[in-house]
C-alpha cells in the first residue's frame, strides 16, 4: 500500500506564449480528487488535458490559481506525483530495464528496492524484453515500458496521460484490468487522461469532460459502480451515451 494523495485545484488558468500572442489553454478549472480516488479526464484533442497533468506534476506553474496536494501547495515536481507522459520518451541509451529503473536510481533507492523494476516489467508483460533497447520496441511496447517506469516509483498520485493509447484492443483490455486491479491493491490516487469513453467509464470513479481549448469543465459524471467493471454493464452503456452526447457526438452514440 502507498500513501494516497488528495488533490485540490482551484481557479486554474494557463496559457502559452505562441508567436508573441497568448494562447489560453486552461480556463478556471476546479478539480478535487479524494485520496485513493480515480478520476478520468475526457476532452477534444488539443484542449489542454496534458497541460493540466503537467501542472499537477509540478513541471510548470499555472498562470493563475492554486494547486494543492494533501493540502500543501504544489511548487515543483515530486516523486510522490509521477507523470506518465503521452509520448513514451524512453532514453534510447538505456535498456528497457534501465529505463524502468530511472526513478529508483534518481532517488538512490536502486540498491534496496531494485526488485520492483522486474515486478513492474512483468506486470506490463515486458520482462522478456528487459535487455532490449527502445529502438527495438514497437510503439505499444514502448508505451508499456513507460508505464512500468512510472509504476516502479509507487507514487501516491499517478498521472496517466493516455497510457494505453497505442495498444491493440486486446492488450488494451488486459492492461485496463491490470491497472484497475493494481489501483485497488495499492490504493494510490489516479488521474487519467484518455480519449476512450469506455476506458474512462471502466477505470474511474468520476469522469470530467472538458470543452475545446481553452479547456473548462463542461460536465462531471459520477460512475457509481463497483470494481472490477464490465463493459457490457447496462448502466455503463447508458452513461457512455450520455458522455458522448456531451462531447457532441450524438450520432456516434
Partner 1 sequence: MSASAEAGPLPAAREARPWRIWAGGGIAGLAWLAAAALVLAWPDADDYGRTELLGGIAATVGLLLLLAGLAGAPGPIARLRPAGPWLVALAAGLIAWELVTAKLDLLPRPFFVAPQALLEVFTDDYAKLGDSVLHSLLLLIPGYLLGATIGFVTGVAMGWSRRVGYWAHPVLRLIGPLPATAWLPIAFFAFSTSRQASTFLIALATFFPVAVLTWSGVASVAGSFYDVARTMGARPWFLIRKVAVPAALPSVFVGLFMGLGSSFSVLVVAEMMGVKSGLGFYMQWSQGWAAYANVYAALLVLAGMCTGLVTLLFRVRDWKLAWQKGVVRW
Ligand X SMILES: Nc1ncnc2c1ncn2[C@@H]1O[C@H](COP(=O)(O)OP(=O)(O)OP(=O)(O)O)[C@@H](O)[C@H]1O
Nearer to Mg ion, 86 or 143 (CB): 86
Rg of the chain in Å (alpha carbons): 18
Using CB under 8 A, which of 9, 102, 137, 239 touches partner 1?
102
Count, residues near partner 1 per rule CB under 8 A: 28
User: Which among ligand X, Mg ion, partner 1, none contacts residue 32 (Cβ within 5 to 8 A by kind)?
Assistant: none
User: Which among Mg ion, ligand X, partner 1, none contacts residue 213 (Cβ within 5 to 8 A by kind)?
Assistant: ligand X
Contact status: 79 vs partner 1 (CB under 8 A): yes
d(CA 193, CA 14): 18
Nearer to ligand X, 51 or 153 (CB): 51
Q: Which residues pair with 189 in a beta bridge?
A: 157
Count of CB atoms situated within 10 Å of the CB of 251: 6
Contact status: 143 vs Mg ion (CB under 5 A): no
Using CB under 5 A, which of 50, 95, 176, 194 touches Mg ion?
50
d(CA 193, CA 160): 6
In the bound complex, what is the minimum distance in angstroms from residue 194's beta carbon to partner 1?
19
Query: E strands within the chain?
Result: 7-18, 21-33, 38-42, 64-69, 72-73, 81-84, 157-161, 189-193, 206-210, 217-222
User: Which among partner 1, ligand X, Mg ion, none contacts residue 57 (Cβ within 5 to 8 A by kind)?
Assistant: partner 1
Is the bond preceding residue 118 a cis peptide, omega within 30 degrees?
Answer: no
Count of CB atoms situated within 10 Å of the CB of 92: 8
In the bound complex, what is the minimum distance in angstroms from residue 60's beta carbon to Mg ion?
15
Using CB under 5 A, which of 86, 143, 189, 211 touches Mg ion?
86
Count of CB atoms situated within 10 Å of the CB of 235: 12
125's grid cell: 508483460
Q: Which residues pair with 206 in a beta bridge?
A: 39, 222
Site for partner 1, rule CB under 8 A: 54, 57-59, 77-79, 81-83, 85, 87, 89, 91-95, 102-103, 105-107, 133, 135, 149-150, 153
Site for Mg ion, rule CB under 5 A: 50, 86
Amino acid at each position: 500500500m502507498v500513501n494516497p494523495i488528495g488533490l485540490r485545484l482551484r481557479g486554474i488558468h494557463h496559457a502559452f506564449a505562441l508567436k508573441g500572442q497568448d494562447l489560453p489553454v486552461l480556463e478556471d478549472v476546479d478539480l478535487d480528487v479524494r485520496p485513493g480516488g480515480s478520476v478520468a479526464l475526457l476532452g477534444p484533442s488539443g484542449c489542454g488535458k496534458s497541460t493540466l497533468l503537467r501542472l499537477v506534476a509540478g513541471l510548470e506553474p499555472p498562470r493563475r490559481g492554486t494547486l494543492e496536494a494533501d493540502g500543501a501547495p504544489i511548487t515543483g515536481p515530486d516523486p510522490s506525483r509521477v507523470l506518465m507522459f503521452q509520448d513514451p520518451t524512453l532514453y534510447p541509451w538505456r535498456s528497457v530495464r534501465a529505463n524502468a529503473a530511472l526513478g529508483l536510481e534518481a532517488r538512490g533507492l536502486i540498491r534496496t528496492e531494485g526488485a520492483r523494476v522486474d515486478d513492474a516489467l512483468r506486470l506490463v508483460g515486458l520482462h522478456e524484453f528487459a535487455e532490449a533497447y527502445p529502438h527495438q520496441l514497437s510503439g505499444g511496447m514502448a508505451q508499456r515500458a513507460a508505464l512500468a517506469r512510472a509504476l516502479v516509483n509507487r507514487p501516491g498520485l499517478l498521472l496517466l496521460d493516455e497510457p494505453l493509447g497505442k495498444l491493440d484492443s486486446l492488450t488494451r483490455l488486459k492492461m485496463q484490468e491490470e491497472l484497475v486491479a493494481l489501483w485497488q491493491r495499492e490504493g494510490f490516487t489516479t488521474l487519467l487522461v484518455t480519449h476512450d469513453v469506455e476506458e474512462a467509464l471502466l477505470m474511474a470513479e468520476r469522469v470530467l469532460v472538458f470543452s475545446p481549448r481553452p479547456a473548462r469543465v463542461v460536465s462531471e459524471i459520477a460512475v457509481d459502480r463497483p470494481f472490477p467493471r464490465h463493459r457490457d454493464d447496462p448502466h455503463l452503456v447508458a452513461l457512455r451515451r450520455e458522455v458522448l452526447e456531451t462531447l457532441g457526438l450524438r450520432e456516434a452514440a
